[in-house]
Amino acid sequence: MKIAVNTRVLLKDRMEGVCRYIHETTKRMVLAHPEDEFYFLFDRPFHPSFIYADNVIPLIVPPPTRDPILWKIWFDFSVPRILNKYNIDVFLSGDTYASLNTNVPTVLVTHDLAYLHYPEHLPGRVLNYYQKYFPLFHQKAAEIIAVSEFTKNDIVNSYGIKKEKISIAYNAAPKGFAVESEIEKLNIRKNYSDGQPFFIYVGSIHPRKNIANLIFAFEKFKEKNHSHKLILIGRKAWKYKEIEELIRISKFNSDIIYLDGNTHEPKLILPAADALCYLSLHEGFGIPLLEAMSCNVPVICSNTTSLPEVAGNAALTVNPKKPIEISEAMHKIISNADLRENLIKNGRKRVQSFKWEESAITIYNCVKKANKINQN
């Protein structure tokens, strides 16, 4: 087969959720199927580490897609020309975007439909694009991959897509997240939290991540517990000024530490945390939960959307809109040794349920199904 892959979000310095998913699953498909040709469609110069094997043909396809107008041009004009030129059999798009201007069957990966549930969190032009085109992308796709059962049900309920058209291929834990010794944990705390124990948030900085309520919860926690700090590590995405202001005016602002995710590696800091606090309002999956479990770090997460599905019995789940519940969970983590150990033990088991290899197989099988449609 000739498989074109939308690799425009593969950026070496931004290995977050969608980028990580495309990287991990596509690399495994490439290596497992040397008989196929994979045409990687980049929209800018690419890092050579993304060219996984000799059966990858990288193509730079302009224009760079940094704006809704450029998204439209790239997917509906630039990409179709490439698909026709190289006689592509299937187009695999792992970031929920697709082309409406091609007859080449598309396999579409959907990570979440957060824009439907929290439209106020997005810039207007981005929201307008999503509202207009995302339903059409899903209708046109030959096969759809959802990253969780929650996301699959959301697609069915929101767009009226038949369940039979949607497969599930989960995320998994990235490599490099490991348990550290007590001595190394002390060194991490010395380097990042003035030697104090800390809670941590890992992820991009924007309203849907609910960092404001995490800060409010931490303030409530600090009123009774004076030792801990809160580390926020992630890339500033959009509408992050509110978070900066909340940190500035907090009476505990010296205990809230922001580390830019573009320059700081979570895997070097997360293992020393007393807990990961991931209180997102809406998630299609939630990779940081698995990262924490890989490090023997307990998890506090939202009791909504996909997060309970991913966490299983390996997290304290709370209402993300109630800072008092989050604060109480923080207190339980540091005061109840049995609870903490049980969460760690369950986390070690839970993380084994998610494997990139299995997801890559699921995606490739959908590509084969789409190719049969093309042949018929």
For residue range 170-198, what is the model confidence (pLDDT) as tens digits?
999 988 888 989 999 999 999 999 999 99
329 occurs within a structural domain: yes
> What average pLDDT does range 352-376 have in this prediction?
92
Of 293, 189, 182, nearest in space to 231 by CA: 189
pLDDT of residue 105: 97
Strands (E), the chain: 2-6, 37-42, 56-60, 90-93, 106-110, 143-146, 166-168, 198-202, 229-234, 256-260, 275-278, 299-302, 316-318
177 occurs within a structural domain: no
> What average pLDDT does range 314-327 have in this prediction?
97
Q: 161 and 243 share a domain?
A: no
- Residue 22 CA to residue 15 CA, distance in Å, equals 10
Whether the per-residue pLDDT at 238 is higher than 80: the answer is no
**CA-to-CA dists, residue 239 to 70, 249, 256, 284, 285, angstroms:** 22, 17, 19, 20, 22
Rounded to an integer, what is the distance from CA 295 to the centroid of its chain? 18
Whether the per-residue pLDDT at 31 is higher than 90: the answer is yes
pLDDT of residue 155: 98
254 occurs within a structural domain: yes
pLDDT of residue 239: 75
- Domain hosting 343: range is 182-353
Q: 367 and 244 share a domain?
A: no
pLDDT of residue 218: 97
Q: 317 and 369 share a domain?
A: no
Q: 47 and 194 share a domain?
A: no
pLDDT of residue 376: 64
Whether the per-residue pLDDT at 307 is higher than 80: the answer is yes
List, for residues 264-300, the tens digit of each pLDDT value.
889 999 999 999 999 999 999 999 999 999 999 999 9
Q: What is the pTM of this model?
A: 0.93
CATH code of the domain containing 190: 3.40.50.2000
Q: 62 and 22 share a domain?
A: yes
Q: 159 and 249 share a domain?
A: no
pLDDT of residue 245: 87
pLDDT of residue 322: 97
Q: Helix 323-335 vs helix 337-350: angle between axes, to the nearest 10 degrees?
A: 100
pLDDT of residue 364: 98
Q: 332 and 187 share a domain?
A: yes
Q: 157 and 109 share a domain?
A: yes
> What average pLDDT does range 139-145 have in this prediction?
97
pLDDT of residue 170: 98
Q: 212 and 302 share a domain?
A: yes
Q: 15 and 77 share a domain?
A: yes
pLDDT of residue 265: 87
Q: 255 and 321 share a domain?
A: yes
Domain count across the chain: 2
Q: 197 and 156 share a domain?
A: no
